[in-house]
């Protein structure tokens, strides 16, 4: 008899975690309409935010002038709708971002959020336009000889369609003549089928240009760790919070992500060399291949005739992530800084327009070079200073507080901690070179959080003593240590509501102080779940048909191996042949020693069973269009040999619950 939990043959749920720093494109559950237990800003929080206001040059309004420059039009209603009438994106959700910062928001971050919320169609140069503020990222358009060259068609087809329609209505109604995708995060390619179809590409010979490795990186990136990343991305992007002065005010990199349909198209031209010169629909371009810094696959490009440079997501109006808080591989600040330095050396003498995948453009050669230099030097400073301090014996837990940017970098708004932060980027560079272990043997074999919490509470003479001391720290504005102490109590006694409420209040104040969008969203989401518990809400599907159908076979099988319940599989020996007739592919799965191995292009003699199933059927199962039960009954999946072994194998596959606890055990 089939067990209901065994519905998929391959339990594959590709959770795309993208947008540059990490930014995920998962829209997350619908946010609640209000926040329970709204907490006012404390005196310590007001003082902290006032100090930020005193330190930074808020009288400099150039960013607001640049963000408004060239404005043409906004969406008539401010809303982007899906085909069935649901809201894909609503610019009205950030209308509260007016006036001076309230006490509950860091004034520097409030300023950044106001800039990011400026939406609409803008002319940024002769024949160059941008749509901003209707998704997390920007979509740019370049007027070619025969049509529009689209750069980075957003996350979902719905805002991409809306942005293109806005351009055609207010500028010129032309066909798409080329698409340039700067990098492999989904907020820069997911809406591609909202601007062009594969049929158009084939029939009209439209080029889709992307960096080397883009397609595989985009389809496969974060697959095996996707469930965990998706849950943390909900914290990072504030998807569970209302948009309000007490909730999420944006991400720092942009506003927030759209809902809708994510797509992908395979490029027709890959940029493989360090520098590549191409003429794209009559526009001369010089492409820089910049892999392995902000994204696994990325490019920037320069248009000599227009003196315009597309900085992709290597240069931004914020400090970016050297380690995204949703979780990903660590990035090198050294490599990042070198790419910016190369751009200065190659194009710095003549560039007059610099525009990117996020934020607003910069104009004028002198201002652009100043902008590029402080961005370059910030990543280099963090990288080099961490290594200097590490060579003096500083550890992972010390470099975050020890690294302080000089005023010449720190007082520039484009270097502020709106997305990445100096603190966690410094720790990331330590991790890049030395890993998590600091060399102190006390940290080799630490207790897990629940056991450590219980011992901490025991040493402190009980939870009431800890809570009393933490309350005193809270009253004194000592939130960082109060958070540490109360976290121990919550993990020792998760039902202790006094500890949970006080820790939630601590997190709320830390969120109100945070200059970083991800830090604010993490703190406030943690506070919400401490107060209300984890509520499983409807989640917009990340099971994009394009992504699932384009996963290569190795990605399927590697994820399958991760999904195996290894302790349950220990002691079992299973060999299964698989045939995928529609792809002409075959492989063998071996279960032994509690792990899954596979061999492509082979069938094993003496296998327990041979499973025949079209790849299309596998994809339909993973997309929820059918089930393994129905597929077997329909004859779309056939099993020759020991079917019990096949069922035994299916019984060893885990399904991952998205709604695991984060701030409680």
pLDDT in tens, 340-384: 999 999 999 999 999 999 999 999 999 999 999 999 999 999 999
Give 498's pLDDT tier (boundaries 50, 70, 90).
very high
pLDDT tens digits, one per residue of 159-188: 999 999 999 999 999 999 999 999 999 999
Q: Taking CA 239 as the corner, what is the angle to CA 235 and CA 245, rounded to the nearest 5 degrees?
A: 95
Give 226's pLDDT tier (boundaries 50, 70, 90).
confident
> Which candidate, 537, 540, 508, places its Cα nearest to that of 525?
508
CA Rg, the chain, in Å? 26
Give the C-alpha distances (Å, rounded to integers) separating 593 from 92, 327, 642: 56, 29, 21
Question: How many C-beta atoms surround the C-beta of residue 429 within 10 A?
Answer: 28
Q: What is the DSSP string of 203-266?
A: HHT-EEEEETTHHHHHHHTTSTTHHHHHHHHHHHTTTTS-BSTTSB---SSSS-PPPS------
Is pLDDT of 46 > 70? yes
- Between 383 and 20, the more confident residue is 383
CA neighbours within 13 Å on the CB side: how many for 175?
13
pLDDT of residue 4: 25
Give 297's pLDDT tier (boundaries 50, 70, 90).
very high
According to DSSP, the β-strands at 308-310 and 353-355 are parallel
pLDDT tens digits, one per residue of 236-271: 999 999 999 999 999 999 999 999 999 999 999 999
Domains parsed from the chain with CATH numbers = 4-13+542-650 (3.30.1050.10), 60-379 (3.60.15.30), 446-532 (1.25.40.880)
| Cβ contacts of 123 within 8 Å, gap of 6 or more | 70, 72, 129, 171
pTM of the model: 0.93
- Mean pLDDT to the nearest integer, 490-495: 98
Core vs surface per residue 548-586: b (16+ CB within 10 A) or e: bbbbebebbbbbbbbbbeeeebeeeebbbbbbbeeeeeb
Give 506's pLDDT tier (boundaries 50, 70, 90).
very high
| Cβ contacts of 460 within 8 Å, gap of 6 or more | 466, 469, 485
Judge whether 453 and 487 are in contact, CB under 8 Å.
Answer: yes
Is pLDDT of 337 > 60? yes
Give 7's pLDDT tier (boundaries 50, 70, 90).
very low
Q: CA-to-CA distance for 136 and 23, rounded, in angstroms? A: 9
Is pLDDT of 413 > 90? yes
Give the C-alpha distances (Å, rounded to integers) separating 463 from 458, 469, 500, 505: 8, 10, 12, 17
Give the C-alpha distances (Å, rounded to integers) separating 183 from 212, 614, 641: 9, 32, 46
| Cβ contacts of 394 within 8 Å, gap of 6 or more | 402
Q: CA-to-CA distance for 472 and 122, rounded, in angstroms? A: 52
- Mean pLDDT to the nearest integer, 498-514: 98
Question: How many C-beta atoms surround the C-beta of residue 346 within 10 A?
Answer: 16
Give the C-alpha distances (Å, rounded to integers) separating 274 from 280, 339, 379: 18, 10, 21
- Over 356-399, what HEC string results? CCCCCCEECHHHHHHHHHHHHHHHHHHHHHHHHHHHCCCCHHHH
- Mean pLDDT to the nearest integer, 29-52: 74
Judge whether 376 and 38 are in contact, CB under 8 Å.
Answer: no
Judge whether 291 and 121 are in contact, CB under 8 Å.
Answer: no
pLDDT of residue 539: 62
Backbone angles phi, psi at 571, to 5 degrees: 90, -5
Give SS3 for 150: strand
Least confident segment among 70-74, 564-568, 620-624, 653-657: 620-624
């Amino acid at each position: 008899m089939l067990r209901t939990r065994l519905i998929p043959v391959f339990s594959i749920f590709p959770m795309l975690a993208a947008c540059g720093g990490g930014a995920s494109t998962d829209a997350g559950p619908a946010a609640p309409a209000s926040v329970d237990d709204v907490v006012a800003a404390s005196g310590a929080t007001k003082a902290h935010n006032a100090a930020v206001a005193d330190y930074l040059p808020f009288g400099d309004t150039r960013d607001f002038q640049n963000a408004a420059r060239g404005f043409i039009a906004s969406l008539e209603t401010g809303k982007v709708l899906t085909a069935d009438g649901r809201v894909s994106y609503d610019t009205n959700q950030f209308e509260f971002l007016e006036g001076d910062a309230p006490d509950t928001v860091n004034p520097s971050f409030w300023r950044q959020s106001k800039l990011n919320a400026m939406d609409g169609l803008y002319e940024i140069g002769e024949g160059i336009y941008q749509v901003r503020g209707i998704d997390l990222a920007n979509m740019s358009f370049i007027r070619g000889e025969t049509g529009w060259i689209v750069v980075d068609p957003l996350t979902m087809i719905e805002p991409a369609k809306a942005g293109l329609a806005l351009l055609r209505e207010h500028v010129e109604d032309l066909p798409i003549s080329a698409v340039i995708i700067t990098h492999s995060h989904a907020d820069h390619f997911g809406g591609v089928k909202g601007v062009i179809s594969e049929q158009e590409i084939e029939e009209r010979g439209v080029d889709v240009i992307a960096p080397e490795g883009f397609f595989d990186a985009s389809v496969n990136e974060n697959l095996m760790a996707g469930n965990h990343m998706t849950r943390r991305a909900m914290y990072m992007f504030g998807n569970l919070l209302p948009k309000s002065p007490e909730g999420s005010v944006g991400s720092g990199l942009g506003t927030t992500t759209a809902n809708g349909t994510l797509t992908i198209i395979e490029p027709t031209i890959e940029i493989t060399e360090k520098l590549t010169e191409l003429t794209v629909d009559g526009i001369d371009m010089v492409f820089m291949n910049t892999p392995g810094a902000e994204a696994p696959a990325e490019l920037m490009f320069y248009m000599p005739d227009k003196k315009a440079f597309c900085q992709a997501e290597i240069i931004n109006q914020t400090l970016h992530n050297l380690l995204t808080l949703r979780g990903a591989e660590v990035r090198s600040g050294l490599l990042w800084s070198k790419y910016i330095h190369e751009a200065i050396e190659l194009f710095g003498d003549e560039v007059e327009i610099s525009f990117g995948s996020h934020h607003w453009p910069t104009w004028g050669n002198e201002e652009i070079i100043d902008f590029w230099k402080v961005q370059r030097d910030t990543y280099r400073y963090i990288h080099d200073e961490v290594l200097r301090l590490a060579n003096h014996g500083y550890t992972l837990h010390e470099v975050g507080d020890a690294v302080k940017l000089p005023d010449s970098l720190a007082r520039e708004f484009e270097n502020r901690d709106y997305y990445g932060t100096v603190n966690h980027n410094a720790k990331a560079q330590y991790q890049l070179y030395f890993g998590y272990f600091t060399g102190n043997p006390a940290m080799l074999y630490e207790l897990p959080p629940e056991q450590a919490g219980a011992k901490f509470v025991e040493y402190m003479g009980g939870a009431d003593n800890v809570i009393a001391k933490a309350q005193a720290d809270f009253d004194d504005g000592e939130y960082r240590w109060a958070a540490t102490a109360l976290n121990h109590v919550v993990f020792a006694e998760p039902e202790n509501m006094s500890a949970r409420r006080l820790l939630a209040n601590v997190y709320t104040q830390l969120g109100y102080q945070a200059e970083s969008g991800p830090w604010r969203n993490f703190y406030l989401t943690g506070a919400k779940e401490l107060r209300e518990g984890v509520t499983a809400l409807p989640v917009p599907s990340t099971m994009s048909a394009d992504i699932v159908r384009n996963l290569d076979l190795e990605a399927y099988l590697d994820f399958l191996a991760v999904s195996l319940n290894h302790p349950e599989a220990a002691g079992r020996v299973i060999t299964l042949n698989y045939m995928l007739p529609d792809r002409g592919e075959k492989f063998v799965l071996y279960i032994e020693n509690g792990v899954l191995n596979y061999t492509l292009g082979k069938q094993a003699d003496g296998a327990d069973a041979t499973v025949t199933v079209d790849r299309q059927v596998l994809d339909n199962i993973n997309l929820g269009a059918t089930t393994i039960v129905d597929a077997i009954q329909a004859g779309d999946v056939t099993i020759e040999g020991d079917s019990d072994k096949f069922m035994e194998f299916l019984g060893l596959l885990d399904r991952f619950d998205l709604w695991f606890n984060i701030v409680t055990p």
